Amino acid sequence: MPGRGKTSRPASLRAATITVALVIAILPTCSINGVVFGAPPEEFNFAEVVSKLDYESIARHVRELSSYGSRVTGYDGYYKALNYITEYFVRVLGGTNVILQNYTVAIPKDLGAKITVMENGQVLRVLEAFCIWPNYIQTWKVSNLKGQLIYAKKGELSDFNGLNVSGNIVLLDFNSGDGWLNAARLGARAVIFVEPSGTTRWEAMVKFLNVPLYFPRFYVRKEDGDFLVKVSRESDVEVVIDSEFEWERAAAANVIGVVNGTRYPDEIIVVAAHFDSWSVVPKLAFGADEAVSVASLLELARYFSENRPLRTVYFVALSGHWQALAGAREFVEKFFFSPEVVSGRKKMYVFVALDLSTDGSDVALLYRGHMYDFGASGPMLRWLKWLQPRIFNYYIPLLEKQTGKRYSVRDGFHPSGSYGWWASIPEPYMLDSEPFAVAHGLSFAVRTDNVLRLQQGHPFDTWENVKLDNLKPQLEVAAAIVYGLANEQSLGITYSEVAPSRYLFTAAGGDLAGFMTVKGKVWTFNVSKGWYTEVPNAVVVACRVGVSYSSYPFSRIVTMSDEKGEFAINGISGYGYGHGYGRVDVWYFEAYKLSEKTGVIEYAPDQGQYGRMRIRFDYEVNRHPYNVTTVVFRAIPIEIFDVIDPTPYRPLMYMNPVFRNTLRALSSRPWTLTLYDAQQLSQFVAWGLSAVGYEKVAVLFVPPRAKGLLLFRVGPNLNIVGILTNSSPEYPE
């Protein structure tokens, strides 16, 4: 008889229940509601892992790397850092377990600048100066650039009252926002910024534009700046500037340190961090806070070399981060699309990027960034099916239980409430994990959340400003996740769901991918031949346009054409963000050629009859490899300032403050700038324009010796609201 209050079950059902329980206890993996789990989390001793992390070693790495000078890819400090990391991997992992992946990348290289202060023809002092990051692709070469020195403090218009600016050189405080544009508007030949006692990344980011305005800008040390402020009060003092700042193809490399797995050597977990740095003053990019990620990578490599995991782990020190993730794109091209991985003989399951800052201690796990903006409801299942619940339901709770700590970890895989896939990061960013994701891989970044990284991007990113205590909780989370993934008895991932794919679109956008190589050529129309000829050594830019456009300057891929006018770019995406069906990314390719003597643009994108009107510049890249063509013409640049909508007196385009794009932003009225031949009152055969709408500067390109007429149209009907010519009372024609 069954007891009171209990429910009797048939003996067969009780036996079945016991059998299921025994099976679950015996098998190394189990499945609940379709989610496959590996070893019980109690087998992971996360507390021991985090207790063995050596923060003194991390501090030594950061101090050493930030002592080399600029680590901008291609600069001297970068190569010192490359050697340091390579030698460390060889020492810790053994020479046979270190791979050097070489590639080339286009960079703006500061080859040196000096300011000679003259009084009555006599040299008072020669000062070292440093170039500011270029406006788009427009670098410069100046020789014997002379002018009276004008000190205009913050660069407000009122600061220029009574000063003779036109044709002279303006001295400004660095912490002056975009006041340097007022100097350019008023006809200054160049600007010199004085080093402040401290600054922020916001100040750095407003010192350059996304349009190719030719306007040399320099930075001087505070002692030299104070001297210049003093002598600027003397009417008989002038300065002479000499500088070389040009694009070049730099030799670059990724360093891969391999720890072979003890049980599953052909299953690979990738852990990566970039070791290059960026500063608005590229020659002064010490990047101490940036270095904490790669320093953490080196420490994780040491730990796993002494505590070998079940799976093979690649520790990848990437470069070219600020060159549109060049190193990460090249890594994916060579290793993820290697014959061994494509065939499945080796399985590269997960890519984990470290993108840490000591400005805060919170972290977010992010799969999506602003390089590709890749993500949709279908592809998100790649992350949500196993990885997200495994991390947030097992790894993090177990880590907290074992350490007795609470960790602030934002879930960027499964956004909810008031947080999106960008977590609490209020501005654009790029992740070294993004190229792996668009190639159909399973990747994410452990990134510091809820901070603005104000100490990065300028010459004050030094060791003294690193707050290493903030790194500890972030690295403990990252170490636990990497340890768990590397030591699961069985990953709950079907490899075909994360295997590399060049181009993929399944039914109804259930899964998307696209990682292709574009091969292109730069042409110019040769009137005497009646056909096109190649343009060697041109600077080529590729960027996403249309709904996927981003104003984030580092998401533009820059390369250079060779002697035959040819170029190649790895990592052009196919599909990106979408609602259900996904979105086909549209990429725009344009080229410029700069004068070898002055650096001024000599050839610009041709919007005319033999250029974009005949040969498209924008492409939906849907196969590998994909061939493109872009056309330039010999041009004279003309700068236009204060380009705004004159009716409501507002910017032509509003940008979303978080994404810095036009999605989910206040609507802007349609607008166009069209260039006409002033003599024929028709469009030029060849002409060009660079304008982005959210900046108040535009650059027109006209044929040499031409007279142009600019029509400004705004509104739904594109009514003409302005006509601009370069006529004057003396020359009204």
Question: DSSP letters along 559-611, please?
Answer: EE--TTSEEEEEEE-SEE-BSSS-EE-EEEEEEEEE-TTT--EEEEE--STTT
Q: Are 461 and 279 in contact (CB under 8 A)?
A: yes
Position 725 confidence tier, pLDDT thresholds 50, 70, 90: confident
Tell me what pLDDT residue 235 has: 86
Q: Are 659 and 428 in contact (CB under 8 A)?
A: yes
Position 665 confidence tier, pLDDT thresholds 50, 70, 90: low
Tell me what pLDDT residue 126 has: 98
Half-sphere exposure in the Cβ direction for 80 (13 Å, CA) = 15
Q: Is the pLDDT of residue 682 over 50?
A: yes
Reported as a single tens digit per residue, the pLDDT across 100-138 is 999 999 999 999 999 999 999 899 999 999 999 999 999
Q: Which residue type is seen at 531?
A: W
Please give the DSSP secondary-structure letter assigned to residue 509: G
Q: Is the pLDDT of residue 19 over 50?
A: no
Backbone φ and ψ of 75, nearest 5°: -95, 165
Instruction: Report how far residue 465's alpha carbon sits from residue 66's, in angstroms, rounded to the nearest whole number.
Output: 12
Position 659 confidence tier, pLDDT thresholds 50, 70, 90: confident
Tell me what pLDDT residue 510 has: 77
Q: Are 329 and 99 in contact (CB under 8 A)?
A: no
The position carrying tokens 């990437």 is 318
Element spanning 26, H or E: helix 11-26
Please name every residue paired with 626 in a beta bridge, in sequence order, or none if there are none.
518
Instruction: Report how far residue 251's alpha carbon sits from residue 73's, in angstroms, rounded to the nearest whole number.
Output: 9
Query: Which CA distances in Å does 186 have to 93, 181, 640, 700?
Result: 59, 9, 12, 18
Please give the DSSP secondary-structure letter assigned to residue 60: H
Nearest to 213 by CA among 320, 139, 292: 139
Pairing relationship of beta strands 618-619 and 586-594 according to DSSP bridges: antiparallel
The domains found in the chain, sorted by start residue, are 44-107+249-500 (3.40.630.10), 121-235 (3.50.30.30), 503-634 (2.60.40.10), 637-733 (no CATH)
Pairing relationship of beta strands 98-119 and 122-131 according to DSSP bridges: antiparallel
Position 666 confidence tier, pLDDT thresholds 50, 70, 90: low
Query: Which CA distances in Å does 477 have to 55, 132, 313, 382, 648?
Result: 15, 37, 17, 21, 50
Which three-class secondary structure state does DSSP give residue 587? Answer: strand
Reported as a single tens digit per residue, the pLDDT across 495-550 is 999 999 999 888 766 788 999 999 999 999 999 999 999 999 999 999 998 766 78
Query: Could you give the angle at the alpha carbon of 655 between the alpha carbons of 651 and 660, nearest 5°?
Result: 140
Q: Is the pLDDT of residue 599 over 60?
A: yes
The position carrying tokens 């000190």 is 151
Cis? peptide before 473, omega within 30° of 0: no
Which three-class secondary structure state does DSSP give residue 660? Answer: coil
Instruction: Report how far residue 604's alpha carbon sits from residue 686's, in angstroms, rounded to the nearest whole number.
Output: 10
User: Helices in 250-317 by DSSP H: which ranges?
Assistant: 288-306
Backbone φ and ψ of 333, nearest 5°: -60, -45
Q: Is the pLDDT of residue 579 over 70?
A: no
Q: What is the mean pLDDT of residues 722-731?
A: 78
Tell me what pLDDT residue 24 has: 31
Q: What is the dihedral of CA 652, 656, 659, 660, to 10 degrees?
A: 20
Query: Which CA distances in Å does 21 have to 18, 139, 451, 489, 566?
Result: 5, 70, 47, 19, 64
Reported as a single tens digit per residue, the pLDDT across 193-243 is 999 999 999 999 999 999 999 999 999 999 999 999 999 999 889 999 999
Q: What is the mean pLDDT of residues 391-395?
A: 96
Tell me what pLDDT residue 418 has: 59
Query: Out of 48-52, 348-352, 434-438, 658-662, which region has the weakest mean confidence (pLDDT)?
Result: 658-662
Q: Which residue type is seen at 115?
A: I
Average pLDDT of the residues of the chain: 90
Query: Out of 156-165, 294-303, 545-554, which region has the weakest mean confidence (pLDDT)?
Result: 545-554
Which three-class secondary structure state does DSSP give residue 653? Answer: coil
Position 375 confidence tier, pLDDT thresholds 50, 70, 90: confident
The position carrying tokens 């390719």 is 589
Instruction: Report how far residue 95's alpha carbon sits from residue 33's, in angstroms, rounded to the nearest whole number.
Output: 45
Q: Are 472 and 365 in contact (CB under 8 A)?
A: no
Tell me what pLDDT residue 245 has: 98
